[in-house]
Amino acid sequence: MTSTPPELIAALARIRPDVQGMHAYAVPDSTGLLKMDAMENPYRLPPALRQTLGERLGQVAINRYPGGRADDLRAALARHAGLPAGWALMLGNGSDELIGLLALACDVPGASILAPAPSFVMYQLSAQLQGLGFHAVPLAADFALDEAAMLAAIERHGPALVYLAHPNNPTGTLWDAATIARIAAAQAARGALLVLDEAYQPFATRTWLDVARADAAAHSHVLVMRTLSKFGLAGVRVGYLMGDARLIAQIDKVRPPYNLSALNIECALFALEHADEFAAQAAAIRAQRAALLDALAAMPGVRPYPSEGNMVLARVADSGDAQADAHAAQRVFEGMRARKVLVKNVSTMHPMLAGCLRLTVGSAPENAQMLAALQDSL
Ligand SMILES: Cc1ncc(COP(=O)(O)O)c(C=O)c1O
């Protein structure tokens, strides 16, 4: 290693100390492994469609900034989602970007973000990066929302923004509709926002958009976020945020003008023209989820939790000693990796998850390989 020049030492000192103290978001190396760690769709497009897509992308004028096709994509997504009357839609380079933009848009002195825990890590990270407060409200023991605790925390902290991942990651839980309604009412009463993050909507039995469509006027403070990642385009990076047109117009001001590449846009338009193909894939994944849950439930020493997403949270160690359970889950995780299957060890993410692994629902052969690796690693 070469010595650190004084200019670099000085330059590094200009980077925020809290950022220097952070760990970077780690994407594990999956070379040679069956990738079951990130809730990706296991299915690719049929070869004929891949060929057509390639030809179509070849026609894109990549010498130009992305233009009117972004409007075409917004219109296609609005049709696809069934956008409520009076609502508008903005695009993000994945939902991750939208989560960052929401923190940026709400950054006034004293503002904070609140979410149940465990849930999607980017809610907290976006608050931290933007210098906003973050309040995590533990879920109930069965991973349902602790409504009383959520309402008390909203009352106490008055968060600008409440996030509900619906269904939740990593637990796969779909929240009780009446509880969501009361949280929405609590945020409305304080003049604050609620975001329903429906990343896993293709695999869920309910969407909150039905509530919005039934009475959009009563829900002008609620935003619904979706992504094409779990739909089958994780590599393309397209997320979208829907809400009252007046609210979306304000949030859209903090979006970089060309945040989606012309290739992302064209690829997403192509995918939406073939939405039936992706709907069939989602149906296959839902069927595989049921089979995976049955197989896990039949495995001694494993407790799977019900899921409305394309992942299953499974407890593989349950001694009641969180540290011992986390160690045991790490051993199972490593055993699976040695057998060429990469899952996500969520054991240390939250005390309630000690002893838990998160398994992506794959195709039938992938699930069989994952189950065999799990069985052999227990
Ligand atoms: C609840 C939730 N929201 C959003 C995302 C991120 O989606 P995207 O790939 O669009 O950035 C994820 C990714 O796992 C997620 O679990």
Report pLDDT for 320: 87
Beta carbon of 304 within 6 Å of any ligand 1 atom? no
Instruction: Say which amino acid occupies 99.
Output: I
Ligand 1 nearest-atom number relative to CA 39: 14
Is 286 among the domain residues? yes
- Taking Cα atoms as reference points, which of 151, 152, 110 lies closest to residue 131? 110
Instruction: Say which amino acid occupies 148.
Output: A
Q: Whose CA is nearest to atom 2 of ligand 1?
A: 199
Last residue of a domain, one of 240, 273, 306: 273
Residue 50's Cα: distance from chain center in Å? Answer: 26
- Taking Cα atoms as reference points, which of 173, 242, 176 lies closest to residue 204? 173
Q: How far is the CA of 268 from the centre of ligand 1 (A)?
A: 16
Name the DSSP letter for residue 362. -
Ligand 1 nearest-atom number relative to CA 97: 11
Q: What is the pTM of this model?
A: 0.96
Beta carbon of 199 within 6 Å of any ligand 1 atom? yes
Beta carbon of 167 within 6 Å of any ligand 1 atom? no
Q: Are residues 190 and 285 in the same domain?
A: no
What region does 272 belong to: left with phi over 0, alpha with psi -120 to 50, or beta?
A: alpha
Q: How far is the CA of 196 from the centre of ligand 1 (A)?
A: 12
Give me the helix-helix angle, 95-105 and 121-130, nearest 10°: 40
Q: Is the dihedral of CA 319, 136, 142, 337 positive or negative?
A: negative
Is 296 among the domain residues? yes
> What total number of domains does the chain contain?
2
Q: Are residues 145 and 284 in the same domain?
A: no
Q: Are residues 35 and 157 in the same domain?
A: no
Beta carbon of 96 within 6 Å of any ligand 1 atom? yes
Beta carbon of 229 within 6 Å of any ligand 1 atom? yes
365 is in which domain, residue-wise? 30-45+276-377
Beta carbon of 227 within 6 Å of any ligand 1 atom? yes
Per-residue pLDDT of the chain (378 residues; tens, 9 = 90+): 678 999 999 999 999 999 999 988 888 999 999 999 999 999 999 999 999 999 999 999 999 999 899 999 999 999 999 999 999 999 999 999 999 999 999 999 999 999 999 999 999 999 999 999 999 999 999 999 999 999 999 999 999 999 999 999 999 999 999 999 999 999 999 999 999 999 999 999 999 999 999 999 899 999 999 999 999 999 999 999 999 999 999 999 999 999 999 999 999 999 999 999 999 999 999 999 999 999 999 999 999 999 999 999 999 999 989 999 999 999 999 999 999 999 999 999 999 999 999 999 999 999 999 999 999 999
Q: How far is the CA of 199 from the centre of ligand 1 (A)?
A: 6
Last residue of a domain, one of 224, 252, 273: 273
Residues in the chain: 378
Is 11 among the domain residues? no
Ligand 1 nearest-atom number relative to CA 119: 1
Q: Are residues 264 and 300 in the same domain?
A: no
Instruction: Provide φ and ψ at 368, rounded to 5°.
Output: -60, -45
CATH of the domain at 184: 3.40.640.10
Q: How far is the CA of 369 from the centre of ligand 1 (A)?
A: 25
Q: Are residues 124 and 208 in the same domain?
A: yes
Beta carbon of 170 within 6 Å of any ligand 1 atom? no
Beta carbon of 196 within 6 Å of any ligand 1 atom? no
CATH of the domain at 34: 3.90.1150.10
Give the three-state DSSP class for 150.
helix
Beta carbon of 126 within 6 Å of any ligand 1 atom? no
Last residue of a domain, one of 273, 306, 329: 273
Mutate-to-test residue for ligand 1 from 195, 196, 227, highest number of ligand atoms within 8 A of CB: 227
Q: How far is the CA of 319 from the centre of ligand 1 (A)?
A: 31
User: What confidence tens digit (pLDDT) does each residue in 143-167 have?
Assistant: 999 999 999 999 999 999 999 999 9
Beta carbon of 95 within 6 Å of any ligand 1 atom? yes
Q: How far is the CA of 124 from the centre of ligand 1 (A)?
A: 13
Tokens of 235: 């590599």
Q: Are residues 124 and 261 in the same domain?
A: yes
Residue in the block written with tokens 């039936």: 276
H-only helix segments in 131-201: 147-157, 177-189
Name the DSSP letter for residue 119. S
Beta carbon of 39 within 6 Å of any ligand 1 atom? yes
